C-alpha cells in the first residue's frame, strides 16, 4: 500500500477544518465533572427570587472570552431563579465584556428573554480606583456611583433602590482577573460569597483562596469549567466547543504522527530494497 506524502499545507488545512467544525458543531466530547462546579451550580440554586448578585471586577479583556464559557450558562441559571443582576466594572474594558455576556446569554428582553433593564438587571459604568472604588461601592453604592452606564441617575432605577451596600449583595461573581481584590474586600472583610469563572492561566494562582475560605469561595477552571457548567444546564456553548476542539485535534495530531512515522518507515524500506 502506497502511503501518501504528508505535505505541511495539507496537514494544517485538515487541522483548520477540524477546528472550525468542532467549534461550530460541538459533538459533546466526554470530560470529567468537577465537584466545585457542581457546588457553584447548587449555590446559585439556593438563591431566592429577587436576590441581588453583583457581577464585576477589573482588567484583561483579552482573556475574558474564556470566562464567559461559564458566565453565560450561569446568567441563564440566574434568570431561571429570577435573581437580579448588577454589573459593576472596575476597569474600562469590563463594561464591554459584561454587556457582551448579557447579550450572549439571551436573557434580556432585547435578545428575546424576560429580563428588563432597570428592573431585573443594571449595567453600571466604569468606577476608577480599583480597591478604593470597590470598598466605596460595598460601603455605600449610591455615593460610589451616581448613574448607570447610560447616564440615568441610579436613584431613578428601580433595582438600584434596593442596592445600598454590601449587606444587600447575596453573591459576588467575578469573570475578570481581579479575583484577589474581591476576595479580600468582599469575602474576607464582609462575608459575601464569591465565585470566580477563572481563566486557566489564573486558576492555579487563585485556587488557594478556596482552601482559605471554604464554602465561601468557588472557582471554575477555564473552558473546561465552562463545559461542566453548560452540561449542568443542559446546553452546549463555548465550553463544549473548546473541549471538543481540544479532544478532536489531539486525536488528529496523533493520527498525523502515526501516519508520518509510517511514511518514514516505508521510505526506509524502499531505500533498503535499492
Residue extents of the structural domains in the chain: 34-235
* pLDDT at 272 (0 to 100): 54
Task: Provide the edge-to-edge strand list for the sheet that holds 217-221.
Answer: 121-123, 84-89, 52-57, 171-174, 194-198, 217-221
pLDDT in tens, 137-164: 999 999 999 999 999 999 999 999 999 9
Angle between helices 238-273 and 64-81 (to 10 degrees): 140
In this prediction the pTM is 0.84
Q: Mean pLDDT over residues 226-246, rounded?
A: 86
* pLDDT at 241 (0 to 100): 81
Q: pLDDT above 70 covers what percent of the chain?
A: 88
Query: Which whole-number Å values give the CA distances from 38 to 44, 106, 209, 228, in the listed order?
Result: 10, 23, 18, 8
Which segment of 110-114, 205-209, 256-260 scores lowest on mean pLDDT? 256-260
Q: Mean pLDDT over residues 29-39, rounded?
A: 89
pLDDT in tens, 170-224: 999 999 888 999 999 999 999 999 999 998 888 989 999 999 999 999 999 999 9
pLDDT in tens, 42-98: 999 999 999 999 999 887 666 678 889 999 999 999 999 999 999 999 988 889 899
47 three-state secondary structure: coil
What does the chain come to in residues?
A: 274
The whole-chain average pLDDT of the chain stands at 88
Q: Does domain 34-235 have CATH number 1.20.1550?
A: no
* pLDDT at 130 (0 to 100): 87
Gap between the Cα atoms of 26 and 246, Å rounded:
11
Residue with more model confidence, 212 or 24: 212
Amino acid at each position: 500500500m502506497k502511503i501518501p506524502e504528508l505535505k505541511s499545507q495539507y496537514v494544517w488545512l485538515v487541522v483548520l477544518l477540524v477546528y472550525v467544525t468542532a467549534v461550530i458543531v460541538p459533538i459533546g466530547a466526554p470530560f470529567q465533572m468537577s465537584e466545585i462546579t457542581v457546588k457553584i451550580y447548587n449555590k446559585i440554586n439556593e438563591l431566592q427570587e429577587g436576590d441581588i448578585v453583583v457581577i464585576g471586577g477589573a482588567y484583561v479583556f483579552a482573556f475574558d472570552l474564556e470566562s464567559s464559557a461559564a458566565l453565560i450558562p450561569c446568567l441563564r441559571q440566574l434568570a431561571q431563579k429570577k435573581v437580579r443582576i448588577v454589573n459593576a466594572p472596575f476597569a474600562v474594558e469590563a463594561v464591554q465584556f459584561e454587556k457582551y455576556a448579557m447579550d450572549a446569554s439571551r436573557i434580556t428582553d432585547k435578545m428575546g428573554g424576560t429580563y428588563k433593564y432597570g428592573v431585573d438587571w443594571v449595567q453600571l459604568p466604569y468606577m476608577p480606583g480599583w480597591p478604593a472604588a470597590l470598598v466605596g461601592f460595598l460601603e455605600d453604592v449610591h455615593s460610589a456611583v451616581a448613574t448607570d452606564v447610560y447616564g440615568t441617575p441610579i436613584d431613578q432605577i428601580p433595582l438600584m433602590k434596593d442596592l445600598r451596600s454590601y449587606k444587600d449583595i447575596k453573591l459576588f461573581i467575578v469573570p475578570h482577573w481581579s479575583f484577589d481584590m474581591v476576595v479580600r474586600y468582599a469575602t474576607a472583610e464582609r462575608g459575601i460569597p464569591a465565585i470566580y469563572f477563572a481563566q486557566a492561566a489564573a486558576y492555579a494562582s487563585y485556587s488557594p483562596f478556596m482552601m482559605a475560605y471554604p464554602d465561601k469561595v468557588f472557582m471554575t477552571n477555564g473552558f473546561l469549567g465552562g463545559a461542566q457548567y453548560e452540561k449542568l444546564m443542559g446546553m452546549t456553548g463555548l465550553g463544549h466547543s473548546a473541549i471538543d476542539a481540544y479532544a478532536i485535534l489531539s486525536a488528529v495530531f496523533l493520527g498525523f504522527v502515526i501516519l508520518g512515522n509510517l511514511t518514514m518507515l516505508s521510505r526506509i524500506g524502499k531505500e533498503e530494497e535499492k
